[in-house]
Amino acid sequence: MLEIAPARELQTVLEERVGQDAALAPVADLIRAIADTAMEVAEVVALGRLAGESDAAVGDLNPDGDVQKNLDVLANDLFVNALRQAPVAVALSEELKEPLLLDPAAPLAVAVDPLDGSSNINANVSLGSIFSVLPVLPGATDAKAHFLQPGRNQLAAGFAIYGPQCSLVLAFPDKTSIFTLDRRKGAFRETVATAQIPRQSHEYAINTSNYRHWGPSIRTFVDDCVKGTEGPLGCDHNMRWIASLVAEAYRILSRGGVFLYPGDLRQGYSSGRLRLIYEANPVAFITEQAGGNATDGVRRILDTVPSDIHVRTPLVFGSANVVHLITRYHTDPQFSAEHSPLFGRRGLMRH
């Protein structure tokens, strides 16, 4: 029998945090509730078809127009029930049209994607749950107002990933840590105290089936990656695409890389498809605390003020140098989308 590697439990880490800053006590209580719920969801996901037809559609569309699966609804119910027991004033979910009022006296607003990647439920691809923790806004005129603040105001963010290992990625304003579920102990244990995304990488993730719909800047960047050592970037690249945001994010946290989900010319995709408040903002927060960057292609995600609770955004995140390079493809005339001869074998980036 394998020995369990010594590692602090999540509970211990949270207690230390509160010991350093008592104002974090409500956040710690919330994260404990989220971690317990993630363990419940992990058990259902691990059962696959043994738990029933979890990928079967329930006949409804969520507020974003996606078909709800049985497991989407179950995960949403589990998280909502957990948030009712935590110090949460108002909750927002991908599966709910409007924010849910909970405890008016509580200090936190929580946005959650209860089951990211549900289209992959029975493909045995990693799924996840994403959450964002915001302070409530004193004097807010309605429940939505608490979520219409920039992502840089997040007190904490994270995601659980249900894969070969069940892990909880947790970011506070000073660092991102990774906890792995020890099923024998029924607890998350810290396995990466301080995650650091390498600043440079030669790996990118994008759905190239949409190539014909992209704008010229994204096309040019991907074309230059494909050219490898013969192109202006001067090196070979690997492409990945899992179609699971949490799986892509976990890989980038582990070894670097960049993820791109741009807006494109398809109907309904001009502003991207990922939701700003409960997908892009928490992933951007996690990424920045691990030394990476996250933009909409040009602007920092965490500076964006949401116009609506379910608003969408393009998203580029990962290794800081690569994200900065992609911004230059959008903004720097030197990176012309016309494939100038200057972008030939000599390459503008090789000096």
Low-confidence ranges of the chain (pLDDT < 70): 1-6, 53-67, 336-351
In CATH, what number is assigned to the domain containing residue 217? 3.40.190.80
For residue 91, give the amino acid letter.
A
Examine the domain organization and report whether 177 and 45 are in the same domain. Answer: yes
Q: What is the DSSP letter of 149?
A: S
Same domain, 144 and 217: no
Asked if the structure places residue 1 within a domain, the reply is no
Question: How many separate domains does the chain show?
Answer: 2
Q: What digits encode the pLDDT tens for the residues 211-227?
A: 999 999 999 999 999 99
> How many angstroms separate the CA atoms of 81 and 79, rounded?
5
Whether 256 maps to a domain, the answer reads yes
Asked if 224 is an active-site residue, the reply is: no
Same domain, 187 and 211: no
| 8-state DSSP, 277 | I
**Whether 105 and 32 share a structural domain:** yes
Same domain, 210 and 147: no
Residues 140 and 249 in one domain: no
Q: Active site residue: 14, 71, 95, 181, which one? A: 95
Three-state SS string over 224-241 comes to HHHHHHHCCCCCCCEEEC
Q: Are 315 and 296 in contact (CB under 8 A)?
A: yes
29, 116, 224, 296: the active-site residue: 116
Instruction: Indicate if 223 belongs to the active site.
Output: no
Catalytic annotation, pick one of 72, 248, 264, 296:
72
Q: Are residues 146 and 209 in the same domain?
A: no
**Domain membership flag for residue 197:** no
Residue 307 lies in a domain: yes
Whether residue 51 is found in the same domain as residue 153: yes
- Catalytic-residue membership of 64: no
Helix (H, G, I), strand (E, B) or coil at 164: coil
- pLDDT tens-digit map of 220-249: 999 999 999 999 999 999 999 999 999 999
Distance CA(90)–CA(86), nearest Å, equals 11
pLDDT of residue 131: 98
End position of a domain, from candidates 157, 172, 192: 192
Q: Active site residue: 29, 71, 92, 113, which one?
A: 113
- The DSSP bridge partners found for residue 94 are none
pLDDT of residue 348: 43
SS3 212: helix
Confirm whether 182 is a catalytic residue: no
CA 302 to chain centre: 13
Report yes or no on 198 lying in a domain: no
What single letter denotes the amino acid at residue 259? F
- Candidate list 279, 302, 315, 325, residue with the active-site label: 279
Q: Which of 168, 192, 216 is where one domain is finished? A: 192
Last residue of a domain, one of 149, 164, 192: 192
Determine, yes or no, domain membership for 21. yes
> In the annotation, is 113 catalytic?
yes
Q: Which domain holds residue 234?
A: 203-343
Annotation marks residue 116 as catalytic: yes
* This model's pTM is above 0.85: yes
Check residue 311 and report its DSSP letter: -
Is residue 222 located within the same domain as residue 281? Answer: yes
* Pairing status of strand 156-162 against strand 127-135: antiparallel
CA-CA distance, 273 to 71, in Å (whole number)? Answer: 21
**CATH code at position 104:** 3.30.540.10
Q: Report d(CA 96, CA 99) in Å as an integer.
A: 7
CB 348 within 8 A of CB 224: no
Rounded to an integer, what distance in angstroms lies between the CA atom of residue 34 and that of residue 42? 12
In the set 9, 64, 66, 103, the catalytic residue is 66
What is the rounded CA–CA span in Å between residue 2 and residue 83? 36
Asked if the structure places residue 95 within a domain, the reply is: yes
Residue 36 and residue 181 in one domain: yes
Look up 115 and say whether it is catalytic: yes
172 lies in the same domain as 304: no
Distances (CA, A) of 346 to 146, 202, 331: 51, 19, 22
Which one of 30, 74, 94, 264 is the catalytic residue?
94
Residue 134 lies in a domain: yes
Same domain? 97 vs 183:
yes
Active site residue 174: no
Pick the catalytic residue from 10, 78, 115, 325: 115
